[in-house]
Amino acid sequence: MRIDRSARAPTSDSLPAQARAATLCVDLSALVANWRLLAARAPGADCAAVVKADAYGIGLEPAARALAAAGCRTFFVATAGEGERLRAVAPRAIVYVLEGLPQGGAPMLATARLRPVLASLEEIREWGAFGRSIGRRLPAALQFDTGMNRLGLAPREAAAAAAAAQDIETTLVMSHFVCAQWAEDARNARQIAGFEEALRFFPGAPASLSNSSGIFLSQKPHYDLLRPGYALYGGNPTPCAPNPMRPVVRLEASVLAVRDIEVGETVGYDGVWTAARPTRLATLGLGYGDGLPAGASSLPGRAGAEAIIGDYRCPLVGRVSMDFVMLDVTDIPASAAHRGATAEILGETIGVDELAARSGTIGYEILTRLGRRYERRYIGG
């Protein structure tokens, strides 16, 4: 299928094609533009950045450096280890650790100036007791669980939490949406109501509810602090509407070889894909060892992912191997599909949401599994 590539970004061609099998290009200007776009949707609120899991796979340090330089002051990581990495590149940032307070972890978190997202009365008391022992009320967020049933206090525990929190400095009260990407879902309103119920016990404390998709809800549950992750990295926070975000990652692989096969020959492991016509194949140098999901395979009865060569979309055929994948390039000009040609797996045309849908997974998983093996280059920022 011929596609319109008029909006195409420049390719990363400063290295000779033969020097790289696959390249991941991360556009830090697009990351910053996405952060600004999200922040602008809630002029009365501050906009944080969720940079857990190595900034959703794009690289914690370069992402945090670019966002901090753009004015982002608050970051969320999942673990204390990620928090320490962030500290090293953003010394003045406010850093919340979503995992909360591991038992006995208070001295380590306090020394690293990390703020735990406390999720139980026990955690609040432990953080408060450690603060008392060093003569300071230590800052932390309190998390209420309004429907995830993952981590957090129940709204009915709010009074007890407020009492236990006397010994800490409550810098944020937060909760997390179950399905804010489905704007019509009744759970969104129920979660907002549950959160409001808890908030009544914390007058004056800054509040935060919205992840990427929550920012776009008609109720505007923006409160004092936004907590986007996915949308920063180019994922679509509104899957029922066009993606308002700029793509941040571009993944390219070079064609290692082109071959012609006969009707009836099979392609790849297990021979599950059989040529129904004389077929020209192009082999690319990346596979599930680089984060291309095995689910992107093209199997009987199920089309898989596609890649772009020149101005053409080409379907993957057969199973994705660890280091290789094969494309059907029969329908595109030989001048486009040749050894050394570049194929785009992710980018302006095929975004993380499309690759995920074609691979039977979600864009979050595509991003966080981006491989460590190919060359990574950072542009902009």
- Enumerate binding residues for ligand PLP (CB under 6 A): 50, 98, 176, 211-212, 227-231
* 155 vs 120: CA distance, rounded Å: 11
* Active-site hit among 52, 56, 230, 233: 52
Q: How far is the CB of 174 from ligand PLP (least distance, A)?
A: 7
Tokens 């489905």 locate to: 182
Q: In 3D, which of 134, 139, 136, 221 has the Cα closest to residue 176?
A: 221
What tokens were used for 57?
Answer: 């796979």
In this complex, which beta carbon is closest to ligand PLP, that of residue 211 or of residue 342?
211
* Active-site hit among 96, 223, 233, 269: 269
Count of positions (residues) in the chain: 381
In this complex, which beta carbon is closest to ligand PLP, that of residue 59 or of residue 228?
228
In this complex, which beta carbon is closest to ligand PLP, that of residue 75 or of residue 230?
230
Contact by Cβ (8 Å): 46, 226: yes
Q: Which residue is nearest to ligand PLP (CB)?
A: 229
What tokens were used for 40?
Answer: 């602008």
Cα-Cα-Cα-Cα torsion 9, 312, 377, 283, nearest 10 degrees, comes to -170
Max intra-chain CA distance, the chain: 78
Angle at 260 between CA 349 and CA 273, to 5 degrees: 70
Q: How far is the CB of 171 from ligand PLP (least distance, A)?
A: 15
Q: In 3D, which of 128, 186, 177 has the Cα closest to residue 152?
A: 177
In this complex, which beta carbon is closest to ligand PLP, that of residue 116 or of residue 229?
229
269 given a catalytic annotation: yes
Q: What are the catalytic residues?
A: 52, 269
